[in-house]
Structure 1
Amino acid sequence: MKVTYYLVRKNTLVSETVAIIIPAYKPDYIIECLDSIFSQTSLDFNLYVGDDASPHNIYQLLQSHQYLDRLHYKRFDENLGGSSLVKHWERCVSMTDGEPWVWMFSDDDLMDPHCLESFKEALQAAPGYDVYKFASSKIDRQGNVLRRNKFPDVMSTEEFLNIRLRAQEESYMVEYIFSRKAYKMVGGFPQLPLAWAADDLFWSKISMKTGIKSINDAQVFWRYSGDNISSDKGSSTASLKMQACYQFIEWIYGQKRVLHSLENNNLPIKWFLHQLGTLKNSLSAVEVWRIIGKAWRFDSIIHFRAISYLIDTRITRWVRKYL
């Protein structure tokens, strides 16, 4: 495959060097994103921008940036994000140069100026984790904060899943820095449709050995712009999202130690039905019940649970609480 690229000087690799990766497609906020990256109080990183055959001239935008000589840019002729976002993530990782730590960022998100410095301090104060996680805020197009998320200081895989499956806190890909070694050991990113829930499954897999260490004195800002997959509820998208949700809970049910360490063994199926409830208006009735029937293998009374999730009344909310 033909690739256009622009390669410049990189840092000499040390044990704390981070590969910051931006799988780029949208032009609207990318300069603001770069400004936040190059405002870091620690510059011990290499920055990679993987252009997913964007119809926008991403490289022309980058040429205007004052830190162009600190970038490694590559444009791919084939767009993968539209068919397999995970595969685009993986080819962006393959651009990097063996840095021991990887940070998948985004072309419209922002980071605190002291994120990398706080990460280096965490490595010294609390070494041995495969995943480090920043606090986060969800922002809108104008940068206004819509919600804040903060996780416990240290989490096991099971504790992380308890929080995520109960929707207690939101979690975004850009919050995490992970070990390249552990990334390879788990076989890379899970191949879930639209990469929906792929990050939660990835963190669950990669944290099973060491857990997750939170860095709550620094945060990233995830932008809910209306252009995200999160905001797309079209019928084809909804169907693919539910396929991904099924694969996510299928993995959980296959991990008996993890499943039995959750606060409730029914938590995964309740999460699955909650996802279905948010997407039901984009799916036909036949598709909804086909999805429910497929998940019957995990829960023999799923049809009864489903009624309480799909018909929102005071009585069904009471039923949902006790089923």
Structure 2
Amino acid sequence: MIDFRYHIVSIVAIFFALGAGVVLGAGPLKGTASQVVADQAERDRTALEQARTDAIAAKSLDKYRDDYVAKVTAGLTDGKLTGRKIVIVTMPSAEGDLTNAVEDSLESAGGQVTTRVALDSKLFDQGQRQLIEPLVNELVTPDITFAPDSNTYQRAGQILARSVLAKELNKPVDAESTKIISGMSDSKLLSVKPTPKDRADLVVVVAAKPPTPLPDNSSYTDAVDFVEGLDLGSAGAVVAGMPESAQNGGMLKALRGDNDATKIVSSVDVANMPSGQATVVFALVEQAGGKAGQYGGVDAKNGVAPTAAQAKEN
């Protein structure tokens, strides 16, 4: 009986509360509630307008920064690569705009980009390993010397280097070069456009943003080994990417975690910015001098760029 009375009282209390709410909503508190809503809407509108203003100001400042840096660095890089020939190698899914910007910076510094080599994702597919190793053995030329402890992808990088690169200037694209280009192209591992007449001495590898979901950094082990091979078969290699590529799941993150690779290969993680494009030029010049460095804004152990003294010397 007590439980029944308790439930009746509870139900009556609920209906009383609902009725009181209706009366108050239609009565003296109606204007107050409307004013609260109106005031909140005005605050939201003001905050939105301020956010829009801040975004426009930030975009304008970013444009100013980039334009200013581009004008200043243009003078600093003029002539730094005069007489040098460069191959651009793009990793699978590397952005075209980034590649074009890097190429423009190299040519503005006096360099000649002889060709672009676009690597296919098939090259680094774990399921294709059984194809890569015999192909490497098939395409090796008598003038390539492999280190005794080299692995398949380091050798593959050296073989590609033999086709479009050399340690010295003015080496021609010969029959052996053509054989390698044809062999790797026919296997759908890469494309070379245009076919160069001369082999370059320097190489810039353009990294892609990491995919989603992020892969483990070890997934780039083969790619890092491949770039080491490119460096060994040329006068120097620089890997250029965006900040994301130097963070977890990115190629530059994996490269910078490989102590052997960082001794010979350079990297720049802000190549999407004018200042970073100038840094790619300076890093390439430094490579030609036999030195390597890791530059940019994300865990770059050698700072934002080669020092002014280094740039001036070169």
Query: Fold match, TM over 0.5?
Result: no
* TM-score in terms of structure 1 length: 0.25
The structure where helix makes up a greater share of residues is 2
The structure where strand makes up a greater share of residues is 1
